[in-house]
Chains A and B, each alone.
Chain A
Amino acid sequence: MRAVAVVGTGQTRHASRRDDVSQPELVHEAVCAALADAAMTPADVDAVLIGNMELFEGRALPELWVGAGALASGVCDTVLVVGFGKHSEGHTQTGMALTDPFWDRSVASGAVGNFALSVSQYVSERGVTEEQAARVAVKARRNAARNPHAHLQRADLTVEEVLASRVLAHPLHLLDMCPQSDGAAAVVIAAGEIARRHNPRPAWVKATATRHDQCYIGDLDKRLLRMPTLRDAAASAYRQAGIDDPLRDLDVAEIYEPCTYAELAWYEALGFCPDGEAGRLVDSATTEMEGELPVNPSGGVLSTNPVGASGVIRVAEAALQIHGRGGARQVPDVQMALATGYGVYAWADVIVLGDTP
């Protein structure tokens, strides 16, 4: 198997409405940026993998996984991976409610209600406070203010403002939730020597893991607490990458956190802290920009969410930290970076990138 690396990344400006571009033009904006970043032209690309919200594929990372596999096996030398979403031209919440027409469509609660149900279990068992969740929201929007692509940028957001924002579904406030954005992201991955030619610091793919679970949401017990897909995927990826202690061994993480409480739950599922310690981890500022393991320097999904691109954005942001091209959101001297994808508790993707093959 050949070593493969992310050699270029590109993103659009993400916003609630991008009326200035059509969906293909949105993709064009991200792809041009990624190719320029990789010092490539379209003629240099052997294959394109593109996904969006429709089948949830751009949200997760299987397309990157497949792309990495094609590269590693020698089928292709360079692959362009694109995710996009233009929510202002769709009906995301209605789409999310189009579940099994015989079972739960008539009693669907939409994305926010669904998260809130899981959060009630998480809060009940872990005892995290609304303030601890709000701190995640503040961190995300403050980090986003350093990211020129981010949709919601609020350097001065306070915990009090988060708690004063209207309740969407108890206990989730408006500012506990991700937005819906228009945007696209693209990454260029390349094999071996080609990767080295196109980037002085390629972000080598050290590990990838994808896990899926049963399809009905009621099949998944205590989903936010247990999240077996993410726990299993992380364990496999850490084994592949030789990571014993993720908090120590990782330099930065870009995790797919659809709401503040999910970020806390993922800290536990990803082994950043023992179960029950996530509230304390956020209180200790460990995951802030200046902390031991900065989580989501980009501002995360909480700040930017073109759903079909949100998974690819995580990989792009993790990669550019290794490339050293993070600008104002650059974490110093990143050698090992984590990116995750997530979907409705039933599946999870974990990828580890490193500065050496």
Chain B
Amino acid sequence: MSLATYILRRVLLIVPTLFGVSLLTFALSRIVPGDPARLAAGAQATPEMYEQIRREFGLDDPVPVQYWNYLSGLFQGDWGRSILSRRPVLEDLAVYWPATFELVLFAMLIAVLLGVPLGILAAVRADRPADQVSRIVALLGVSLPAFWLAILFQIFFGLRLGWLPVSGRLASLAEAPPTLTGLYTVDSLLSGQWATLGDSVRQLLLPAITLSFPAMATIMRFTRATLLETLGQDYVRTARAKGATERQVVTRHALRNALIPTVTMVGLSFGWAMGGSVLVETVFDWPGLGLYATKSALSLDFMPIMGIALLYGLVFSVINILVDVTYGALDPRVSRA
């Protein structure tokens, strides 16, 4: 099967996946107790105001009709409206998605930039002090709850040292960059707003480091494990026998093969980090999808929740395709059958 056919097949498979996601989230939203219209109508709403909202949002239609309307709307670019803010969900997703993407992207950048070298270090110095330290760091990384770590970072770097801000995406009185990509760091860089760039990086550091911890720990251990395994292979022994230095053995011969499973792990960690961003965004008041999801869930605002589930489903599917394709490209032995 050619690569193009393979990708096309995987892309087409996204459609039934998303259909399943939409059906599941819609069903769940109708099963959970509570009436979003009452909440949206406000504390003092008259019965007429309440009925008006039910009509306006189609909540007085039979449930299958509601789902059909939702589904047909999706194909026309209408993902419904938030019953609370009354804004189109798609518009909200467009606002909140870049913040989450920027956060996860930076977190993964930190995780890879630290995780891979530390993993290599742990492998080449296996069972020595550096390896033991890396083991402890990895254990802490996967076992410390993100929100706990977040609060510790806030107290230490924000309150005690006063180095970094503890909440928000931009300082209160900072000048916002023009919206080009929605990623403040990129937008301020592209528009040459250096002060804003500095500010947005400072704001990003604590939440991104917090979010990167589990991914970094996993990547580090993965790199160590696979590199150790590779270093024991026959072709590595051959390289050593030919007189290659240890550095050459590691960097030229072993690392490329060892990193193949790590690439998979990076892709999967990206998806996990998106899910994990909910807690981190809440503690750092990072105005991304996680915070939007929390707010919507607490308000029984179902349309945004369904929209977020669809978007996450889409992102996960795309990441999986990318990982599979990358894996195949790196390791020709992997079949696409």
Q: Are A and B associated in one complex?
A: no
- Residues of chain A touching chain B, judged by Cβ–Cβ distance below 8 Å, are none
- Residues of chain B touching chain A, judged by Cβ–Cβ distance below 8 Å, are none
